[in-house]
């Protein structure tokens, strides 16, 4: 599981608002106000999963539209701005976020910058979604197996082609139905 808040927001959320009393024996062993970007608790390091930064960056519809446009072909900021109902500076800011998330890269072309998708970033998102899908399918399989183990014996027997069929009386079975 990854956190979508920046580390400084986490620090603020955990910051002790009341200063310690003057007669306090010692500061707490774990001072949440001293947390850094490398830790989300006193003993739990912050580990961002591969692909989660990219998914977070694609949470904005404008960034998704830019990402999808760049998937078709590399483009300059002006070309992207012409396709979208936002200004060129706004497109530049969205591209900066996508670049920081590792989803796009840029190169100089005279006075322009040409942006294109970064394959490693797309592969990281793909890997992340594959991992999540695998976990979801494993959980579904475990739940289905547990439900099958809890099924009544008559239902299991009917499903396996043995014995009584649910909803059919013995009299109806005797008549061939």
Confidence class of residue 108 from pLDDT cuts 50, 70 and 90? very high
b/e map 88-100, b = 16+ CB within 10 Å:
eeebeebbebbbe
Instruction: Indicate if the pLDDT at residue 21 is higher than 60.
Output: no
Query: How far is residue 117's CA from residue 66's CA, in Å, rounded to a whole number?
Result: 10
| β-strand partners of 117 | 104
124 and 51 in contact (C-beta within 8 Å)? Answer: yes
- The count of C-alpha atoms lying within 13 angstroms of the C-alpha of 120, restricted to the half-sphere facing its C-beta, is 6
Domain-terminating residue out of 101, 120, 139: 120
Residues 113 and 78 in one domain: yes
In a domain, 75, yes or no: yes
Residues 59 and 31 in one domain: no
In a domain, 84, yes or no: yes
Residues 59 and 81 in one domain: yes
Structural domain containing residue 10 = 1-47
In a domain, 147, yes or no: no
11 and 32 in contact (C-beta within 8 Å)? Answer: yes
Query: How far is residue 92's CA from residue 158's CA, in Å, rounded to a whole number?
Result: 63
What is the rounded average pLDDT of the residues 31-44? 50
In a domain, 142, yes or no: no
Residues 71 and 114 in one domain: yes
Residue 108: helix, strand or coil by DSSP?
strand
pLDDT value of residue 103: 96
What is the rounded average pLDDT of the residues 86-97? 96
155 and 162 in contact (C-beta within 8 Å)? Answer: no
Which pTM was predicted? 0.56
Which of 145, 143, 144, 167 minimizes the C-alpha distance to 155? 167
In a domain, 33, yes or no: yes
**CA distance between the termini of the chain:** 54
Query: How far is residue 19's CA from residue 9's CA, in Å, rounded to a whole number?
Result: 20
Residues 10 and 24 in one domain: yes
Query: How far is residue 91's CA from residue 67's CA, in Å, rounded to a whole number?
Result: 11
């Amino acid at each position: 599981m990854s956190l979508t808040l920046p580390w400084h927001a986490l620090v603020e959320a955990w910051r002790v608002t009341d200063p310690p009393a003057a007669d306090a024996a010692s500061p707490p062993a774990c001072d949440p106000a001293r947390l850094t970007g490398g830790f989300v608790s006193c003993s739990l390091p912050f580990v961002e999963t591969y692909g989660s930064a990219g998914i977070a960056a694609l949470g904005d519809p404008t960034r998704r539209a830019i990402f999808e446009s760049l998937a078709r072909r590399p483009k300059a900021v002006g070309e992207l701005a012409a396709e979208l109902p936002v200004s060129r500076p706004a497109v530049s800011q969205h591209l900066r976020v996508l670049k920081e998330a590792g989803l796009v890269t840029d190169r100089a072309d005279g006075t322009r910058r040409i942006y294109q998708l970064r394959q490693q970033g797309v592969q990281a998102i793909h890997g992340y979604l594959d991992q999540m899908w695998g976990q979801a399918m494993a959980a579904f399989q475990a739940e289905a197996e547990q439900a099958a183990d809890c099924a009544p014996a008559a239902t299991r027997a009917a499903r396996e082609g043995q014995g009584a069929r649910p909803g059919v009386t013995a009299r109806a079975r005797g008549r061939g139905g």
